[in-house]
Amino acid sequence: MTVSWSALAERLTGLQPVPEPTVVAILGVVALACVVLAWPVTRMVVTVAHEAGHAIVALLAGRRLTGIRLHSDTSGLTVSRGRPQGPGMVATLLAGYPAPALMGLGAAWLLASGRALLVMALLVVVMAGMLLMIRNLFGLLVVVIGTTLVGLTAWYLQPVHQSWIAYFLTWVLLLAAPRPVVELARQRSRTSDPAQLARLTGVPGGIWILLFGTVTVGSLIAGLGVLAPGVLRWG
pLDDT in tens, 8-52: 666 777 788 889 999 999 999 999 999 999 999 999 999 999 999
Q: What's the pLDDT tens digit per position in 51-103?
A: 999 999 999 999 999 999 999 999 999 999 998 889 999 999 999 999 999 99
- 3-state DSSP assignment of residue 221: helix
DSSP string, 143-169: HHHHHHHHHHHHHHS-HHHHHHHHHHH
Q: Flag whether 190 is in a domain.
A: yes
Q: Which pLDDT does position 170 carry in this prediction?
A: 97
User: Higher confidence at residue 123 or residue 188?
Assistant: 123
Cβ–Cβ < 8 Å for 180, 44: no
CA angle 163, 152, 176 (to 5 degrees): 55
Q: How far apart are CA 158 and CA 156, in angstroms?
A: 7
Q: Flag whether 14 is in a domain.
A: no
Q: What's the pLDDT tens digit per position in 133-149?
A: 999 999 999 999 999 99
Q: How far apart are CA 122 and CA 113, in angstroms?
A: 15
- Read off the pTM: 0.92
Q: Which pLDDT does position 230 carry in this prediction?
A: 61
Total number of domains constituting the chain = 1
Share of the chain above pLDDT 70, in %: 92
Q: What range defines the domain where residue 147 resides?
A: 19-227
User: Higher confidence at residue 200 or residue 230?
Assistant: 200
Instruction: Place 235 in a pLDDT band, splitting at 50, 70 and 90.
Output: very low
Q: Flag whether 8 is in a domain.
A: no
Q: Which pLDDT does position 27 carry in this prediction?
A: 96
pLDDT exceeds 50 at position 234: no
Q: How far apart are CA 89 and CA 54, in angstroms?
A: 10
Q: Flag whether 27 is in a domain.
A: yes
Q: Flag whether 74 is in a domain.
A: yes
pLDDT exceeds 60 at position 231: no
CB contact burial 136-149 (16+ within 10 A = b; e otherwise):
beebbebbeebbee
pLDDT exceeds 80 at position 196: yes
Q: Mean pLDDT, to the nearest integer, of 158-172?
A: 95
Q: Flag whether 162 is in a domain.
A: yes
Q: Which pLDDT does position 194 carry in this prediction?
A: 95
Q: Flag whether 154 is in a domain.
A: yes
Q: Flag whether 208 is in a domain.
A: yes
